[in-house]
């Protein structure tokens, strides 16, 4: 645990203790709040039944109080400021200081009472996605309850009947409210804390925003062409790595509240899909995967053993979703000789740069001036240069010497000697090509130039 994590845990603990002392007699539990984007590893539960808490990427779990055997939470729907990644903040709506809201953790069979206070400028509700509950607690504005007007507090109460992976979100002006970041994670732990035990249990929600470079508030009417693809309202390199000790049993729970699907892919490991928002999958029915598609409104829990040391890419496989704010209207410039036109334009606009003649990778190297409050399209500096990724991208960091329960970033992985790709510096054999119609012209070979050797590895 690093110092910041310790301090944030300590502050959660203090809020929890404060709840018991100061608000025990009050009808309404205190609403804890956190505006930090640091991953806050929750402490072991101090009241209620035991469980092993999950770790919310760049987020936290909401403290509760026990009142006559009921687990009470207080959610406050309100405008929040969220750092998407260093260099950009967004003005979103969320819960208790953050978007997404804090993760709610309960145990199967718990009776749960949730106070929901609306500090937004318009009415809202909360739907408890995946829960099997009485109809009147389902949170669909107009259908199962009146909407919660600004300033009002509503109470939801039900029994968390099934262990599993769930989420919460509004069912009132939901296109706008979800485009503004209103959502949160819910985990119902099994009755037996040792059942389905893993060493690391990570959770995150996928979300997407359309925020013009230089602006702060998402465009709420965008249907598909979002420019920020985020996990827990964070874009790489703002997404914390998933740090593991070698041979840890790892679970990653993910939910999708965007407008499109996300094929989530992991490198260096095979996993099984162990659960959905409908419940846990019987072990004999699970099959191996390296990519799982998260459809809209779905949740998936994947499990694997982190038995391969290294820094492994973990990302959405839609290439546009590992990019930050970009213009999709930019023309393809591969193969276009721009030198002459660039010279002419430079006479009119000093500092003009021609871009993309050999691809777009060069853009990750350019230190182009950006308007305030946006992110470069491709970001993240690795040990060998730009990683050329943004958006829905993070790292699974597996280390032999990581301590149990320690989530501190161990830095970059150093590959053992002889286990890293290297440049071939010998002679190249001539390539044999078939003659006849459709054959590749030999001239292509002549264009292959050897690049200077840059890494002394």
The contact set with Cu ion (CB under 5 A) reads: 262, 316, 318, 321
Q: Tell me how far, at minimum, the Cβ of 231 lies from Cu ion, in Å.
A: 10
Q: Tell me how far, at minimum, the Cβ of 316 lies from Cu ion, in Å.
A: 3
Q: Tell me how far, at minimum, the Cβ of 229 lies from Cu ion, in Å.
A: 6
Q: Which is nearer to Cu ion, 145 or 298 (CB)?
A: 298
Query: What is the separation of C-alpha 316 from the centre of its chain, rounded to a whole number of angstroms?
Result: 10
C-alpha distances in Å from residue 394, one per residue of 264, 389, 399:
11, 9, 16
Q: Which is nearer to Cu ion, 61 or 324 (CB)?
A: 324
Cβ neighbourhood burial of 343 (10 Å; 0-12, 13-18, 19+): exposed
100 and 139 in contact (C-beta within 8 Å)?
no
Q: Tell me how far, at minimum, the Cβ of 321 lies from Cu ion, in Å.
A: 3
Q: Which is nearer to Cu ion, 224 or 348 (CB)?
A: 224
362 and 376 in contact (C-beta within 8 Å)?
no
Q: Which is nearer to Cu ion, 91 or 320 (CB)?
A: 320
Q: Which is nearer to Cu ion, 118 or 260 (CB)?
A: 260
Cis-peptide, bond into residue 454, ω within 30° of zero: no
DSSP structure class, residue 320:
G
Cβ neighbourhood burial of 443 (10 Å; 0-12, 13-18, 19+): exposed
C-alpha distances in Å from residue 223, one per residue of 78, 219, 276:
23, 10, 26
Q: Which is nearer to Cu ion, 291 or 358 (CB)?
A: 291
Phi (first) and psi of residue 354, to 5 degrees:
-85, 140
128 and 156 in contact (C-beta within 8 Å)?
yes
Beta pairing, strands 200-209 & 248-256: parallel
Q: Tell me how far, at minimum, the Cβ of 52 lies from Cu ion, in Å.
A: 29
Query: What is the separation of C-alpha 280 from the centre of its chain, rounded to a whole number of angstroms?
Result: 22
Give me the count of residues in the chain: 457
Give the C-alpha separation, 33 to 95, whole Å. Answer: 8
Q: Which is nearer to Cu ion, 183 or 316 (CB)?
A: 316
Q: Tell me how far, at minimum, the Cβ of 320 lies from Cu ion, in Å.
A: 8
**Which residue matches tokens 């953790």?**
105
Q: Which is nearer to Cu ion, 64 or 231 (CB)?
A: 231
Q: Tell me how far, at minimum, the Cβ of 267 lies from Cu ion, in Å.
A: 16
Q: Tell me how far, at minimum, the Cβ of 36 lies from Cu ion, in Å.
A: 26
Give the C-alpha separation, 117 to 129, whole Å. Answer: 19
Q: Which is nearer to Cu ion, 196 or 242 (CB)?
A: 242
Give the C-alpha separation, 255 to 369, whole Å. Answer: 35
Q: Tell me how far, at minimum, the Cβ of 261 lies from Cu ion, in Å.
A: 7
**Closest alpha carbon to 54 in 34, 74, 40, 38:** 40
């Amino acid at each position: 645990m690093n110092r910041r994590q310790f301090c944030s845990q300590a502050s959660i603990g203090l809020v929890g203790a404060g709840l018991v002392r100061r608000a025990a007699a009050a009808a309404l539990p205190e609403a804890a709040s956190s505006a930090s984007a640091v991953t806050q590893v929750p402490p072991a539960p101090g009241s209620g039944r035991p469980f092993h808490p999950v770790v919310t990427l760049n987020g936290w779990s909401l403290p509760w109080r026990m009142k006559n055997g009921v687990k009470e939470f207080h959610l406050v729907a309100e405008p929040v400021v969220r750092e998407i990644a260093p260099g950009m903040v967004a003005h979103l709506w969320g819960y208790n200081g953050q978007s997404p809201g804090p993760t709610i953790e309960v145990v199967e069979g718990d009776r749960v009472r949730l106070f929901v206070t609306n500090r937004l400028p318009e009415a809202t509700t909360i739907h408890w996605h995946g829960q099997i509950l009485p109809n009147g607690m389902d949170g669909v504005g107009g259908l199962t309850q009146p909407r919660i007007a600004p300033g009002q507090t509503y109470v939801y109460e039900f029994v968390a009947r099934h262990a599993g992976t769930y989420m919460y979100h509004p069912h009132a002006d939901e296109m706008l409210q979800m485009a503004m970041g209103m959502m949160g994670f819910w985990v119902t732990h099994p009755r037996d804390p040792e059942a389905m035990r893993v060493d690391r249990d990570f959770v995150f929600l996928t979300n997407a925003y359309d925020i013009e470079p230089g602006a702060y508030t998402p465009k709420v009417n965008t249907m598909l062409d979002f420019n920020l693809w985020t996990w827990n309202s964070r874009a790489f390199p703002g997404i914390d790595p998933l740090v593991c000790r070698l041979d840890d049993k790892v679970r990653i729970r993910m939910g999708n509240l965007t407008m499109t699907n996300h094929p989530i892919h992991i490198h260096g490991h095979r996993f099984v899909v162990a659960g959905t928002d409908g419940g846990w999958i019987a072990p004999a029915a699970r099959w191996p995967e390296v990519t799982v598609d998260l459809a809209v409104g779905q949740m998936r829990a994947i499990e694997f053993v982190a038995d391969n040391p290294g820094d492994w890419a973990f990302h959405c496989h839609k290439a546009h979703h590992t990019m930050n704010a970009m213009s999709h209207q930019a023309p393809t410039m591969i193969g276009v000789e721009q030198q002459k036109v660039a010279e002419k334009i430079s006479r009119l606009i000093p500092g003009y740069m021609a871009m993309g003649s050999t691809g777009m990778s060069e853009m990750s190297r350019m230190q182009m001036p950006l308007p305030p409050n946006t992110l470069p399209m491709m970001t993240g500096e690795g040990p060998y240069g730009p990683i050329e990724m943004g958006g829905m991208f993070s790292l699974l960091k597996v280390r032999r010497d990581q301590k149990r329960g320690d989530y501190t970033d161990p830095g970059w992985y150093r590959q053992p000697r002889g286990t890293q790709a290297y440049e071939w510096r010998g002679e190249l054999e001539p390539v044999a090509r078939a003659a006849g119609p459709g054959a590749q012209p030999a001239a292509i070979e002549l264009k292959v130039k050897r690049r200077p050797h840059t890494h002394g590895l």
